[in-house]
Amino acid sequence: MELRIPAADDLHIHLRNDERTLAAVKAVREGGACRVLAMPNTSPALATGEDATKYRHYLVMQGADFDILTTIKLMPTTTPEMITEAARLGVSAGKQYPLGVTTNSEDGVSDFRAMYPVYEAMAQSDMVLSLHGEVPGAFVMDAETEFLDELHRIHRAFPKLRIVLEHITTQAAVEAVRSLPDNVVATITDHHLDITLDDVIGSTIQPHHFCKPVAKRPSDRKALNEVVREGHPSFFSGTDSAPHLIADKENACGCAGIFNAPYHMQFLATHFDALEMLPRLADFTSKFGAEFYRLPPSGEEIMLIKRDVLVPNTYDGIVPFKAGQTLTYDLAWI
């Protein structure tokens, strides 16, 4: 069996700015994506439009042969003027991390209302607000659900602002986004369609399944898969692929992040086929997100081929998602 579909838009990916970047960049096309939204929580952070422009150039110099949409990091020091300038330079989104909830978020936001002038500038510039939706200091299993009240408040205050609630993990988040207009959407990762907390801290500790937000309950995973099966246009793919070196994952204080980009479409085809929802794949990976970000069709296509492919145990010093397991779909570029 072969399935010809548009190449993927990965609208949430971490490409780093260090020794991991070469692997992260190479993985994009190997996983079937031709266009990405690159996250700004590098070190140092991408705080301005100029930073984002330089980062795009850096990625191209590292071998990126795909379209790169840029972001800036929203921090307490971000001003409306910085938003206006970033928009002028073509930045697609401003990404807000709550203080201390994930990798490189020590300069994140704790006072959301203090950011309202920034949100207003984003609405006026038609820049997307990208939200890591967790409340700082909340119990980890409840942090996303507790953030949903804030999502509703931001939308009420700025009804025309385009908002993405990133990498949702809960049934409550699905229901919240469903209840809002179509300018408030959500991304869903490969791994949150597949794993639950048991796969992280069940019978053994699995550090390569540790991510933020953490995987949740089976009922939450079911809700994510059901909304994708439904083909709801407010929910689309973003891998949140986040490479960490093995030594940074397998230690007493391991980093959060799953590296799923190298076998992104191979995994999703396998997963969607197993759940008998393969006809929904192209919309999820290549249509709904592009429409939200107002992107033209990429014009690139891949062929998904029904044949076994073994995911290696390591990929350039990084453990990929599904390492050592066999997927039932491979891909070729057309």
Domain with residue 276: its CATH number is: 3.20.20.140
- Taking only the tens of pLDDT, the chain with its 334 residues reads 999 999 999 999 999 999 999 999 999 999 999 999 999 999 999 999 999 999 999 999 999 999 999 999 999 999 999 999 999 999 999 999 987 666 665 777 888 999 999 999 999 999 999 999 999 889 999 999 999 999 999 999 999 999 999 999 999 999 999 999 999 999 999 999 999 999 999 999 999 999 999 999 999 999 999 999 999 999 999 999 999 999 999 999 999 999 999 999 999 999 999 999 999 999 999 999 999 999 999 999 999 999 999 999 999 999 999 999 999 999 999 9
Establish if 295 belongs to a structural domain: yes
Total domains present in the chain: 1
Establish if 77 belongs to a structural domain: yes
Q: What's the Cα-to-Cα distance from 102 to each of 48, 183, 202, rounded to whole Å?
A: 21, 26, 22
Establish if 21 belongs to a structural domain: yes
Rounded to whole angstroms, how far apart are CA atoms 72 and 182? 23
Q: What's the Cα-to-Cα distance from 174 to each of 171, 260, 276, 313, 332, rounded to whole Å?
A: 5, 22, 21, 33, 33
Which range marks the domain in which residue 281 is found? Answer: 7-299
Question: Catalytic site residue 240?
Answer: yes
Establish if 334 belongs to a structural domain: no
Establish if 324 belongs to a structural domain: no
Residues in the annotated binding site for Zn(2+): 12, 14, 95, 132, 167, 240
Establish if 328 belongs to a structural domain: no
Rounded to whole angstroms, how far apart are CA atoms 78 and 51? 13
Tokens 């301005």 -> residue = 48
Which of these is catalytic: 190, 240, 316, 330? 240
Q: φ, ψ for residue 330 (rounded to 5)?
A: -115, 175
Residues in the annotated binding site for substrate: 14-16, 41, 132, 244, 256
pTM for this predicted structure: 0.97
Establish if 329 belongs to a structural domain: no
Establish if 117 belongs to a structural domain: yes
Residues in the annotated binding site: 12, 14-16, 41, 95, 132, 167, 240, 244, 256
pLDDT recorded at residue 101: 63
